[in-house]
Amino acid sequence: MTPVQAIIAKELRSYFVSPIVYAVGAVFLLIFGVLSYVFVVNAGNQAVRLMQVQGAAAQLNLNDLVLRPTFSFMAIFLMLLLPILTMRTFAEERKLRTVELLMTSPIGINEIVVAKFLSVYLIFLGLLTLTGIAPLILSLFSSFDWNPVFTGYLALALLGAMFLATGVLASALTENQIVAAFLSFGLLILVWLLGGLGNVLGDTSIGNTIAYLSFIEHFDRLTRGLVDTKDLVYYLSSMVLMLFLAHRVVESQRWK
Amino acid sequence: MIEVQNVTKRYGDLTAIERVTFSVNKGEVLAFLGPNGAGKTTTMRILTCFMPATEGVARVAGFDCFEQPLEVKRRIGYLPETPPLYHELTVREYLTFVGRLKGLSAENLRSGLDRVVERLSLGEVRHRLIGNLSRGFQQRVGLAQALLHNPPVLILDEPTVGLDPKQIIEIRELIKSLAGSHTVILSTHILPEATAVCQRVVIINAGRIVAMDRPDRLSARLRRSEKISVTVKAPPAGLAERFRALPGVQSVFEPTDTGAFLLECELGRDLRDEIARFVVGNGWGLLELKTIPMTLEDVFLRLTQHEDITAGEGEEARTPSKEQARA
């Protein structure tokens, strides 16, 4: 087992004996379940209304009425949930001084950062997989296009990677887990609101650049089933940037 | 094995250690002695590559701590001041994690695990959660972590803190048994510990090395006079004056009226023979005669405290006349 795998295994072990994963997981699944339920009921009501008007069974687009809004709302809730998952990654190690063990072991800081990130990412992917039950059940009673569902999950997976990387960075900045969580809320909400700010500035180069930095536009395209390299580059590069900054922060703490 | 040259570490305006230079030979056990905040931990953190030095060069096994940290880290077992323990893991899980972190193969990990569990008597707690263990056991798990990959160099920051007297003796025996095959640096502020386990002592105060030598030579070097304690059965009146009249005796101190005297003699001159003949020849009855070595404690106090603080206590208080004479 390589050191990176050892850290991941240890992190997963620590997460699953603490209540964090269970709390975050339960809330995450509850929100996903309630959201999809609400949108399905709405779609049902709409179908009834359409039938009364048209007098025949209406063909509804469940992708647009149920799945896409569920994914979009999930993106917002992830901003609030994922910082809770990442807040302890580095903050706790520093608080308990166990960081001295990691930093004096024959592994690089990049390996520590990557291992920390991958361990929370694995937990997130596990939770995301569990939500797959909602579209599966829906597919038993109706028909819809699976492709936008897959790209929607891809969008959530990429968005989660970016959020978690931001959370790891925030956790590296402080010894206090609460501060780390709030810091990543703040950073993510700021990036989210950049979309609105860009729109205010209109179709200028500055406005477009700022709007590009927000994750909303990229997310929307993916949930519609459009896989554009530009959007993949956006998510992956922002994730790498956040992890790189986390690496620099951890490295800089050695010099203080 | 370990070389430190002119290492300085500054935290902003605060200088933690300044131009520290020393070296440790292979198989040697070296103690860092100093009051809290003297710079012991900082020096150790630089050697373990936890933090870089502001200036100067530190080398372990020929590898520079700044240029080749991975090579250095591979060769070091480090017990920090606070043992780096994950309370939610069992002892076994924790040590397995550390072994993998240090890059041990499955086979070496298994043998290393058995070895440290046996050496540190962790057998009975190996399946218990670290968070539920007593301070003494936690400290031993911390030591086990440092020894697990059998590194040639061990850096132990206050290894016996929090242990009971029996465990302290066991750990000291363990460290002594490591001498020869391992190079050990340990820090302590318990002086007998340094004398008990170390071949060499570095006394560090306010970030500077103030003395470095073998424990016995350290006290010999700092002794400014030979001290002899004499107990006489039936001392006549004015014996102190007559002792002082002997050639070579610098001062006499009579703490009580029980016939015990403390004589300070010229350095490098053993007057025991003369004193014995003088007392016995006069028929006063010689009960005891011995030289008093300076304890490491005295050395430590003299080196790490300012003269004006020591003036009221310890070694200086017993020999006021000498200080006055020198002034």
Chain segment B218-238, per-residue pLDDT in tens: 766 666 667 788 888 888 888
Sign of the C-alpha dihedral computed for residues A147, A148, A152 and A155 taken in this order: positive
Task: Indicate whether B326 pLDDT > 70.
Answer: no
**Number of compact structural domains in chain A:** 1
With CB atoms and an 8 Å threshold, state whether A7 touches B101. yes
Smallest Cα distance from A253 to chain B, Å: 9
Nearest to B11 by CA among B63, B58, B35, B46: B46
Q: What CA–CA distance (Å, rounded) separates B239 from B50?
A: 62
Q: What is the pLDDT of residues B165-213, one digit of tens each?
A: 888 888 888 898 888 889 999 998 777 788 788 888 888 888 888 888 8
**What's the confidence (pLDDT) of residue A56?**
67
Task: State the nearest Cα–Cα gap between B240 and chain A, in angstroms.
Answer: 59
Percentage with pLDDT > 70 across chain B: 87
Residue B81 with chain A: CB contacts under 8 Å = 97
* Partner residue opposite A97 with nearest CB, options B49, B84, B93: B84
B100: contact with A, CB 8 A cutoff: yes
Query: Which of A198-202, B213-217, B298-302 shows the lowest per-residue confidence on average (mean pLDDT)?
Result: B298-302
Domain holding A71, by residue range, is 3-253
| pLDDT for B249 beyond 80 | yes
Residues 6+ apart with CB under 8 A from B36: B189
How far does Cα B164 stand from its chain's mean position?
Answer: 18
Residues of A in contact with B51 (CB under 8 A): 254-255
pLDDT grade, residue B317 (50/70/90)? very low
DSSP symbol at A67? I
Q: Kindly indicate the confidence band of residue B94, based on its pLDDT and cuts at 50, 70 and 90.
A: very high
For helices A177-201 and A205-213, angle between their N-to-C axes, nearest 10 degrees: 150
Domains, in order of start, for chain B: 2-215 (3.40.50.300), 220-326 (3.30.70.100)
Q: Are A166 and A98 in contact (CB under 8 A)?
A: no
Per-residue pLDDT of chain A (256 residues; tens, 9 = 90+): 889 999 999 999 999 998 999 999 999 999 999 999 999 999 888 888 888 887 766 677 888 888 899 999 999 999 999 999 999 999 999 999 999 999 999 999 999 999 999 999 999 999 999 999 989 998 888 888 899 999 999 999 999 999 999 999 999 999 999 999 999 999 999 988 887 788 788 778 888 888 888 888 889 889 888 899 989 999 999 999 999 999 999 999 888 7
pLDDT in the model for residue B223: 64
**ipTM score for this prediction:** 0.88
B52 touches chain A (CB under 8 A): yes
Which amino acid would we find at residue B103? G
pLDDT band of residue B263 (cuts 50, 70, 90) is: confident
Residue A215, token pair as written in the block: 């994750």
Contacts of A256 in chain B (CB under 8 A): 11
In whole angstroms, what is the distance from residue A225 CA to residue A152 CA? 7
Q: What average pLDDT is seen over chain B?
A: 83
Tens of pLDDT, residues B128-178: 999 999 888 999 999 999 999 999 999 999 888 878 888 888 888 889 888
* C-beta atoms of A96 and B48 within 8 A: no
DSSP reduced 3-state for A172: helix
